Amino acid sequence: MNRDLLRHHPGKTQAHIGLVFLLLTAGLISLAGTYWLYSLEPRLKADAKTQATVLAQSQSWILADTLLRQSSAERTSELNETMDEILVLTDPNTNAPFVSGIRIELDSSLAESDDNRILMRGDTSCTECFTSDIPLYSKTSRELLGIARFFSSSAFYQQLRDEVRLKFSIAIIAIILFLSAAWWMIRKLLQGITLSVRRQLQILDTLPFPMFVVNNDLQRVYLSNSNAKEQFLPVESNAQQPLLQLFEDPHDYEVLLQAHQLQHNIDSYECNLRTRDRKPYVALLSSTQVKFPQGNAVILSIIDITLQKHAEAIITKSEERFATVVDSLEDLVYVTDMDTHRILFMNKPMRDLFGNRVGEICWKTLQQGQSGPCNFCTNDKLLHADGSSKGVYVWDYQNTITGEWYTCRDRAITWIDGRTVRLEAASNITQLKTIQLELEKAKEAAEAASLAKSNFLATMSHEIRTPMNGIIGMVKLLQHSKPRADQSEYIEAVSTSSEQLLLLLNDILDLSKIEAGRLELELQPFDLEQLLHDSIVLVQNSAHQKGLHLEYSLTPSTPTILVADKTRLRQILLNLLSNAIKFTSQGHVSVQVAGEMVSTDTARIRFTVVDTGVGIPEPMSERIFDEFTQLDSGVARRYEGTGLGLAICKRLVTAMGGKIWLEHPGKEGSAFSFELVLPLASGESSLKLTEETTSVSSIVPRRVLLAEDNRINSLVAKHLLEQNGHSVTIAVNGAEALTQLEHADYDVILMDLHMPEVDGIEATRRIRSLADEKKSAIPIIALTADIMQAEKEKCLAAGMNGFLAKPFRPEKLEEIIAKTLQPDAELQGLDTSRAQD
Amino acid sequence: MLRRWLLLPLLLIVSHQTALADDAAQRRVLVGLKLFPAVLAASEALGPENTPPNIKVFIVYQDDENRAEEFAEILQDIGEIKGTRLIVKSLPIALLPQYRGDPPFGLFIAQRNEDDVQMISDYGRQHNVITFSPFRGDVERGILAGIVISDRILPFINRQALNTLPVGLKMFFLKVAEVYEP
């Protein structure tokens, strides 16, 4: 990194200041030593010497007085004594004598010889002592009599010098310590600054973008981080315009230069730069002027936006594509903020219709006369309580002015900035709506037609069943009237034809009910094995007549007490068995039943009816379950049938939630399977099943009131009942039945429903409202050719106790009479849909 | 009038300073007066072999005759030096050049103007007079002897003036004296 900018960086400064402190300390020590040696110590010494001199002078007068003695010996003796006295004087501070020695040189006038001129006491050879020469004058003549040299002790001086030197040294050490502490603090401070600077430099080097620090006129590069060095060519600091080579276009450099000559910062300036690898480099330049100790500088930071620009270009293209697609839609598409209701986006059809309203409140600009959010604000239908999207909310809307219909698909989506917004796409469905309305009308018409057809069929069923009841009844009577052999053959032919006609009638009626969706399943517990047995018994005669072997099998693990519409289930089985017998000339027909538990209370039961008949060719396998479909015309001619049986089977199985199919088509023989998932019967249901399976063992003669307006039917019923020992009274309508009941007692009433004046329902109501409790409680059994469930329910509601569909078999009539007259008998619903099977 | 009152404090200060200086000079004169006989006694002209009957000493002054007389009396009280009678006289400095009598053995300056020092020095050299001035700086100007006062009071001798005397001072005396070497 170019660190020109930091030539005076803290590390060097630290060393410089350390050197200054070292020199300062050394200078201080030298100065202190010099001051001590050349000033303070001599001064102390001079002061000590002065003190010694003053002391010596104070003692000199005593010696001068002694010199005036006449006798030399006396003078000498006295001088010695005086000197001794002086020598014992002691300094209390140092506990040392003031004077170590005294030497007196006498004037020649006082000395007898030169040997006597010098007198000495004490230590006069002391080299460290201060010497003071004191003249000794005569008090009287003022003559100079001698010179006394005092050798004053330097103890006081030495003590004083030591004390001062100690204090001086302490002061110097204290100053040095202070300077050291100051240096230490400054060093720590500088270390901190150095560390901080290093960190800053490291941070600069780790910056993810290139950065230069240049002088204010861009003529000198102070600093560049490693990112800048890696990406760009070396910047020549000594070049005239070192940054110029960075720019692909010199104009960009000029812009930057002019900005800084005017002392303007640049927040962001987009330009193309030249890199080491010569790859395209789009940069966002920013420059900031800063003040450094060495002068102003400019920090030039570079952000690589090449990828961003590339992405922007891609996004722009993407947006263009998006706009092309969205704008080309015929749908009105717009986006609004769910909180502020501001429009965030409108596609072209939307803009064409309303103008560009982006940024405006939707209910103010897209609607008129609204004081708040309108019906188009479907926010509550788009979000769950936790803020998650509910998905698409579709609703239709008709413009009250244009009358055009729109279907609106609203959805909460996440907008580009992260907030949740409402997207609505409104499609013009006026044409579709028109078609839909027409279809609805057509549907209603079709439903009306279907209803009419059903009504027609129900009516026709009733109208056909009524004479059929007469025919079948009369045939039965004839068969019991001991006809001749040829008559019996004719009667049998009539019976067979009437039976086939009834079968055909029932099939058509069933198909009609299924197609009209009016098939109602009567779920009840039943014994599967019993049902199989009964079904086999019903077709057994037919099989035996053709010499076919008929059998059924039930796997041991198959649950047998189940819940289903057993009548319909038996109908399916009988249809399949009848077909199998019909199309099999020799061999056998079998029913195989297998079941498995699919849960704790449901079982999957598969029924397979197998025969050894002609089989069904492959091409027919797909259409075999269609209405009125038989193998071919030849077959149809050979085998009688309407072609409705399998179609009814398929619809019944489907209505029960199962499926039916043809096994291995194309092979000889055929096998039809169907599968149902049936619930297991509970204990209570099983008990009911047991009760229902009771049967009538013997016929008890009863007094029967028969209300029937059809003369033939009343004749048939009357004779059938009378054949079994019952006494029968006939009433032609409900009113007459009431009259008959008032005048006589009856055990049971057989009530036709459709009668003139008072019908069977009304008559029953009136009977149940009679005051006579016995008569009002008389059992009433409905006899009707109308076998619709609704009719049966009407009977129940009116208070009837039993229901028998016409045409009926004589044994069925006896059975229901017997059951109805049993104590605690309730409504006895016999087979209503497949009467006379 | 006001100007006078304003000048009065200044005059008081100046007079006080002058008085202090006079006191110091007075003390130097008195100290010098005590040392002056020792200088005279140190002359080799006075000794056992050469004892004049008397020696004459002048106390010269500027204008304070009374003071000079007092000094002369103090000096006269010594009586004699080394057995030689001492005759002390006071004399105004202004009259010294016109003095035609026998020159004195010694001359003590009790009061002087600085301008007079050279004349007195010259007089001393011309007439072999031991001149003595207690005033600071006079020895350096040529006066033979004076005093130096520091921690001690020592005689102060001008070597050049001393050398002009036909009879010098005793070496014993010079041992203890401060000698000025011009």
Count CA atoms within 13 Å of residue A560 on its CB side.
13
| CB within 8 Å: A135 and B151 | no
Interface residue of B39, B88, B171, B172 to substitute, partner A, most A CBs within 10 Å = B172
CA distance readout (Å), A690 to A557, A567, A601, A697, A698:
21, 17, 20, 16, 20
Cβ atoms B126, B153 nearer than 8 A: no
- For residue B34, the chain A residues in CB contact (below 8 A) are 137, 142
Q: Is 80 exceeded by the pLDDT of residue A696?
A: no
Partner residue facing A144 (CB), from B36, B151, B172? B172
> Taking Cα atoms as reference points, which of A318, A211, A198, A218 lies closest to residue A258?
A218
Nearest residue of A to residue B46, measured between CA atoms? A143
Distance CA A29, CA A34 (A): 8
Distance CA A716, CA A718 (A): 5
Distance CA A238, CA A254 (A): 19
End-to-end Cα spacing for chain B: 53
Q: What is the pLDDT of residues A762-783, one digit of tens each?
A: 999 999 998 888 889 899 999 8
Cβ atoms B157, B179 nearer than 8 A: yes
Cβ atoms A289, A216 nearer than 8 A: yes
Q: For residue A693, what pLDDT is reported? A: 45
Interface residue of A45, A133, A141, A149 to substitute, partner B, most B CBs within 10 Å = A141
Q: Is 80 exceeded by the pLDDT of residue A4?
A: no
Name the stretches of chain B with pLDDT < 70: 1-21
Partner residue facing B34 (CB), from A50, A54, A142? A142
CA distance B175 to chain A (A): 8
| CB within 8 Å: B41 and A141 | yes
| CB within 8 Å: B172 and A107 | yes
B45–chain A Cβ distance below 8 A for any pair: no
The encoded tokens of residue A542 equal 């037919």
Distance CA A694, CA A715 (A): 30
| CB within 8 Å: B41 and A50 | no
Question: Which of A165-179, A549-563, A706-720, A779-793 is predicted least confidently?
Answer: A779-793
Angle between helices A566-582 and A645-655 (to 10 degrees): 150
CA distance B114 to chain A (A): 28
Distance CA A731, CA B65 (A): 202
Instruction: Provide the 3-class DSSP secondary structure of residue A2.
Output: coil
Q: For residue A64, what pLDDT is reported? A: 85
- For residue A109, the chain B residues in CB contact (below 8 A) are 48
| CB within 8 Å: B172 and A133 | no
Partner residue facing B151 (CB), from A54, A109, A142? A54
B41–chain A Cβ distance below 8 A for any pair: yes
Q: Is 50 exceeded by the pLDDT of residue A606?
A: yes
Element (H, E) at A748: strand A748-752
Q: What is the pLDDT of residues A499-556, one digit of tens each?
A: 778 777 777 777 777 776 767 788 888 999 989 998 898 888 889 988 999 999 999 9
Q: For residue B119, what pLDDT is reported? A: 94
Nearest residue of B to residue A106, measured between CA atoms? B172
| CB within 8 Å: A53 and B172 | no
- For residue A104, the chain B residues in CB contact (below 8 A) are none
C-beta atoms surrounding A440 within 10 Å: 10
A832: pLDDT confidence band, cut at 50, 70 and 90? very low
pTM of the model: 0.41
What ipTM does the predicted assembly reach? Answer: 0.80
Q: Give chain A's mean pLDDT.
A: 83
Q: For residue A372, what pLDDT is reported? A: 81
A118–chain B Cβ distance below 8 A for any pair: no
User: Which DSSP string do the residues of A627-645 spell out, in sequence order?
Assistant: TT--S-HHHHHHS---S-H
A143–chain B Cβ distance below 8 A for any pair: yes
Partner residue facing A142 (CB), from B38, B175, B176? B38
Better pLDDT: A643 or A811: A811
Q: For residue A66, with 0-12 CB atoms within 10 Å meaning exposed, 13-18 middle and 19 or more buried, which class applies?
A: buried
Answer left, alpha or beta for residue A440, where phi above 0 means left and psi between -120 and 50 means alpha: alpha
Q: Which amino acid is at A654?
A: T
A320–chain B Cβ distance below 8 A for any pair: no
Name residue, tokens 């789009």.
Answer: A282
Q: For residue A516, what pLDDT is reported? A: 67
Instruction: Provide the 3-class DSSP secondary structure of residue B137.
Output: coil
Count CA atoms within 13 Å of residue A532 on its CB side.
23
End-to-end Cα spacing for chain A: 109
Better pLDDT: B45 or A622: B45
| CB within 8 Å: A144 and B41 | yes
User: Which DSSP string do the residues of A596-617 spell out, in sequence order?
Assistant: EESSSSEEEEEEEEEE-SS---
> Taking Cα atoms as reference points, which of A460, A322, A476 lies closest to residue A808?
A476
Distance CA A131, CA A92 (A): 21
- Pair type for strands A130-137 and A144-152: antiparallel
Q: Is 50 exceeded by the pLDDT of residue A107?
A: yes
Q: What is the pLDDT of residues A294-352, one digit of tens each?
A: 678 888 889 889 888 888 888 889 888 888 888 888 889 999 998 898 999 999 998 98
CA distance readout (Å), A327 to A406, A619, B164:
18, 53, 139
CA distance B172 to chain A (A): 7
Q: What is the pLDDT of residues A780-799, one digit of tens each?
A: 999 887 767 677 888 888 88
> Taking Cα atoms as reference points, which of A806, A835, A832, A834 lies closest to residue A469?
A806
C-beta atoms surrounding A388 within 10 Å: 10
Element (H, E) at A304: strand A295-304
Please give the interface size between A and B, counted as residue pairs whose CB atoms are below 8 Å apart.
Answer: 56
CA distance readout (Å), A19 to A34, A172, A186:
22, 19, 12
- Pair type for strands A780-784 and A748-752: parallel
Distance CA B166, CA B164 (A): 6
A275: pLDDT confidence band, cut at 50, 70 and 90? confident
The encoded tokens of residue A88 equal 């014992």
CA distance A143 to chain B (A): 4
Q: For residue A837, what pLDDT is reported? A: 38
- For residue A131, the chain B residues in CB contact (below 8 A) are none
CA distance B135 to chain A (A): 20
Nearest residue of B to residue A142, measured between CA atoms? B38
Please list, residue by residue across A304-332, b when 16 or more beta carbons sit within 10 angstroms of its beta carbon and e when fewer do.
bbeeeeeeeeeeeeeeeeeeeebeeeebb
Partner residue facing A135 (CB), from B36, B81, B176? B176
A692: pLDDT confidence band, cut at 50, 70 and 90? very low
Partner residue facing B152 (CB), from A53, A109, A140? A53
Count CA atoms within 13 Å of residue A443 on its CB side.
6
- What is the percent of chain A where pLDDT is above 90? 20
Residue B167 phi, psi dihedral angles, 5° rounding: -120, 125
- For residue B150, the chain A residues in CB contact (below 8 A) are 50
B67–chain A Cβ distance below 8 A for any pair: no
| CB within 8 Å: B172 and A105 | yes
- For residue B173, the chain A residues in CB contact (below 8 A) are 144
| CB within 8 Å: B176 and A147 | yes
A371–chain B Cβ distance below 8 A for any pair: no
- Pair type for strands A90-91 and A96-97: antiparallel
Question: In sequence order, which residues have a C-beta less than 8 Å from that of residue A165 and are 6 or more positions away?
Answer: A36, A41
What mean pLDDT is predicted for residues A425-442? 89
Question: In sequence order, which residues have a C-beta less than 8 Å from that of residue A575 and are 6 or more positions away?
Answer: A645, A646, A648, A649
Nearest residue of B to residue A143, measured between CA atoms? B38
Q: For residue B91, what pLDDT is reported? A: 94
Distance CA A9, CA A196 (A): 11
SS3 letters across A378-423: CHHHHECCCCCECCCEEEEEECCCCCCEEEEEEEEEECCCCCEEEE
- For residue A147, the chain B residues in CB contact (below 8 A) are 172, 175-176
Q: Is 90 exceeded by the pLDDT of residue A676?
A: yes
A234–chain B Cβ distance below 8 A for any pair: no
Whether the link from the prior residue into B97 is cis, omega within 30° of 0, is: no
Q: Is 60 exceeded by the pLDDT of residue A255?
A: yes
Distance CA A506, CA A490 (A): 24
A141–chain B Cβ distance below 8 A for any pair: yes
> Taking Cα atoms as reference points, which of A457, A445, A510 lies closest to residue A833?
A510
Q: Is 70 exceeded by the pLDDT of residue A823?
A: no
Q: For residue A736, what pLDDT is reported? A: 92
- For residue A105, the chain B residues in CB contact (below 8 A) are 172, 175
Q: For residue A1, what pLDDT is reported? A: 41
Answer left, alpha or beta for residue A218, where phi above 0 means left and psi between -120 and 50 means alpha: left
Better pLDDT: A117 or A359: A359
Q: Is 90 exceeded by the pLDDT of residue A239?
A: no
A7–chain B Cβ distance below 8 A for any pair: no
What mean pLDDT is predicted for residues A268-292? 87
Partner residue facing A134 (CB), from B82, B150, B152? B152
Partner residue facing B152 (CB), from A57, A109, A142? A57
What mean pLDDT is predicted for residues A676-702? 66
Distance CA A218, CA A256 (A): 9
| CB within 8 Å: A133 and B176 | yes
Q: For residue A521, what pLDDT is reported? A: 82
Instruction: Provide the 3-class DSSP secondary structure of residue A212.
Output: strand
B38–chain A Cβ distance below 8 A for any pair: yes
Tally of residues, chain B: 182
Q: Is 60 exceeded by the pLDDT of residue A10?
A: no
